[in-house]
Amino acid sequence: MSELEVRELRYFIAVAEELNFSRAAQRLGMAQPPLSKAIARMESRLGVRLFERTTRQVRLTDAGRVLLDQARIAVDAVHAAARRARRAGQPTPRLVVAVKPGGDAGLLREILAGYRGTGSHPAPEVVVGGSGQPIAMLRDGRADVALLRSPFDGRGLDSQTLVVEPRLAVLPAAHRLAGRRRLRPADLEGEPIPRWKGAAPSATAYYAGRDGAEAGDGDPGSAPADPPEGPLVASVEQLLEVVALGQAVAFLSLSTTERHRRPDIVYRPVTGLSPSAVMVAWPETSRSAAVAAFVRAAHDVAAHHRDRMTALAH
């Protein structure tokens, strides 16, 4: 059996995502019959059905779902390799660092200063992106290294934890719990939680404060129910407005709350709430001396900040 080609994987991904051959062909800019024949050839060579087809619908088989996961990784890796090769061949190479606003816990400036002092490595270029963009840039080759907050999909990446900081509940100043000094997860039962635009389903429990919260009295029947869905948000600023208007409560890292003090919002610690970890991440296949120098600088800077984070948490 011959190996699958990148072109074929692109065809398959389009059909798997659209679950409609006509729409997939239109997306690919080709006619439907050649696309259908290409998928049939793939199934014949693999010896498995990738799709269940009826006159009404197209569905992925178990084999198709597995191939979709792996095909996305493979195609992304090919694209990333091409981008990294082009960037490495530029007359003035640069180390591209991706981060989202507030995603560095205030460490980035010191890390960059430490990196610049490590020798004659490429100059750093920082790209600030929205939620989900730094890890996407790392995967597709637009970035060499990124500062990320957990949780994230670490497939194909190496990473190192820099700092771990507590998260606080974000409440309107007029909220019934605003006068409390410390909260429990049970206190926030039934409160709507904002939904982050583009967040993976695996991160939903974390953003809702459910992944590390205390579970009550140990009775499985007393486990907290999923919170009501609040408004969709795409930035911390938007989240704060939603909370201030009384439309939801939320959870933010300690360093983020320090940068966003407002009279119409209060921040309160929550017993048992999972923390927020800031991590430096890079492709597991990277052999870049510049990336290694950046990671060492990040580690050194973070070591000096851990005591400060511990003090602030108390």
What's the confidence (pLDDT) of residue 271? 94
What's the confidence (pLDDT) of residue 205? 81
List, in order, residues 6 or more apart from 33 with CB less than 8 Å away. none
| Neighbour-count burial for 130-144, b at 16+ CB within 10 Å, e otherwise | ebbbbbbbbbbbbbb
205 close to 215: Cβ distance less than 8 angstroms: no
pLDDT category of residue 96 using cuts at 50, 70 and 90: very high
Domains of the chain, start order: 6-84 (1.10.10.10), 93-162+277-313 (3.40.190.10), 167-274 (3.40.190.10)
What's the confidence (pLDDT) of residue 268? 97
pLDDT category of residue 107 using cuts at 50, 70 and 90: very high
Instruction: Say yes or no to pLDDT of 310 above 80.
Output: no
Query: Element (H or E) spanning 185, and its range?
Result: none
Q: State pLDDT tens for residues 7-56.
A: 999 999 999 999 999 999 999 999 999 999 999 999 999 999 999 988 88
Q: State pLDDT tens for residues 197-229.
A: 777 766 778 888 877 555 444 444 334 567 888
d(CA 42, CA 12): 9
Which amino acid, one-letter code, is at 60?
L
**What CA–CA distances, in Å, run from 235 to 103, 185, 198, 240?**
12, 24, 11, 9
